[in-house]
Amino acid sequence: MSDHALIAGSALGVPEWLVAVAALLTQLGDAWFLYLGLGLLYWLGDRRLAANPRRVGATLIAVGLGALAVTVGLKSLFAFGRPPGAAEATAPLWLPAVAVDAYAGAATGDGFSFPSGHAIGATMVYGGLATFLDVWDRRTRLRVAGVLIAVVALTRVVLGVHYVVDVAAGVAVGVAGLLLFQRVARSGFRPHPDRAFFLAAGLGLVATAVAAAGGHGDEVLEAAIAFGGGLGGYAVWRVRGTETAPVGRIDTVVGLGVIAAVFGSAYWVATAGLPYVFGVVPDTTPFRLLAVVPLSFAGVAVVVAWPTLVARARGSDRPGDAGVDESESAGVADLITEAEPVGDDEADG
């Protein structure tokens, strides 16, 4: 691993093998892990987790997009460099060769340092889960979220990819961002995914402008993912809402494949660039934006619309199942979503 990572780990009294564990645990705050978890929660979550699992899941996806926008916007604004050696890592000798590349990716960091994106994402997502879910009691949820946030923040310092001030600021920003989403996207205890997606899109647009003003092309494209994704989620929820019909295992696997293809394309365009199309499309940031925004729009739109698509494929698209009913009706249970854990027989879909 990098010299800086070894220094950081030893300064905390952490042996080399535990620093390697930090490279694994830091994935708890990585974008792929957070978004995968939120997508599965939206598709598979039931009333044991929340009185309105789809509504809560969609809102949390928007919170995740907002975390991306806030991260990119602030990193572009401050443009502070990372600690020395943050982009380098040498895997431990005992690590299997097949895992070396994955380890290098997990144990290094690139781009700007302040504030920590992992700390922001972990705080907003895990804090959002503690806020909006009904499982256990609120105090227990907050404690679990706090532990996860602390673990992610600590791993960033142990790995030497962030200074302590980066992660401290990231947690503070994450708390502020989550409070903003609560204020905008919630009435009483009832979350409103359309408002949350619209807020995420707005934050993404602001972050895009900040990155463009600073001349940070890569950050412009990352912010555009939040902008396009927020618009996609907003459009689908406003037009259709979502189905209450369950998403099965096969449906989930197929859906993940579709989403991976769409978001993989967006990520590939943002990082690798555009191929020339008949020799007339130059690989520049503006042209990449023309691909990244629609792909991100489509990716989140498919995530939100997937239960509806599954229901239609099964031929069970009945008026009583339509997400418009779920997104517009205000049952008694909706107003007590966060009071105490809700049992299966007490929840209102």
Q: Which residue ranges make up each domain of the chain?
A: 3-336
Specify the 3-state DSSP secondary structure of 220. helix
H-run or E-run covering 287:
helix 285-314
Q: What is the pLDDT of residue 42?
A: 94
What's the rounded mean pLDDT across residues 68-80? Answer: 95
The residue among 154 and 108 whose pLDDT is bigger is 154
Specify the 3-state DSSP secondary structure of 160. coil
What's the rounded mean pLDDT across residues 323-344? Answer: 40
- ∠ CA 127-128-132, rounded to 5°: 125
The pLDDT tens digits of the residues spanning 87-129 come to 777 777 777 777 778 877 887 888 899 999 999 999 999 999 9
The residue among 163 and 264 whose pLDDT is bigger is 163
What's the rounded mean pLDDT across residues 233-239? Answer: 93
Q: What is the pLDDT of residue 316?
A: 56
159, pLDDT greater than 80: yes
Per-residue burial over 142-167, b if 16 or more Cβ lie within 10 Å, else e, is: eeebeebbebbbbbbbbbbbbbeebb
Quick one: pLDDT band at residue 12, thresholds 50, 70, 90? very low
The reply to whether omega before 115 is within 30° of 0 (cis) is yes
The residue among 290 and 65 whose pLDDT is bigger is 65
- Residue 50 exposed, middle or buried by CB count within 10 Å (0-12, 13-18, 19+): buried
Count how many Cα atoms sit within 13 Å of the Cα of residue 316 in the half-sphere of its side chain. 12
Quick one: pLDDT band at residue 342, thresholds 50, 70, 90? very low
Specify the 3-state DSSP secondary structure of 186. strand
334, pLDDT greater than 70: no
Q: What is the pLDDT of residue 324?
A: 41
The pLDDT tens digits of the residues spanning 225-235 come to 999 999 999 99
Cβ-based neighbour number of residue 189 at 10 Å: 17
Mean of all residue pLDDT scores within the chain: 82
Closest by CA position to 158, among listed 320, 328, 2: 2
Quick one: pLDDT band at residue 267, thresholds 50, 70, 90? confident
188, pLDDT greater than 60: yes
Let me know: does 29 contact 48? Beta carbons within 8 Å.
Answer: no
Q: What is the pLDDT of residue 274?
A: 60
Q: Note the pTM of the prediction, 2 decimals.
A: 0.84
Tokens at 290, concatenated: 């023309």
160, pLDDT greater than 70: yes
76, pLDDT greater than 90: yes
Tokens at 279, concatenated: 């020799």
Name the pairing type of β-strands 190-191 and 186-187: antiparallel
User: What phi-psi label fits residue 188: left (phi over 0), alpha (psi between -120 and 50 degrees) or beta?
Assistant: left
275, pLDDT greater than 70: no
Residues 6+ apart with CB under 8 A from 111: 75, 82, 218, 219
Q: What is the pLDDT of residue 107?
A: 77
Let me know: does 78 contact 112? Beta carbons within 8 Å.
Answer: yes
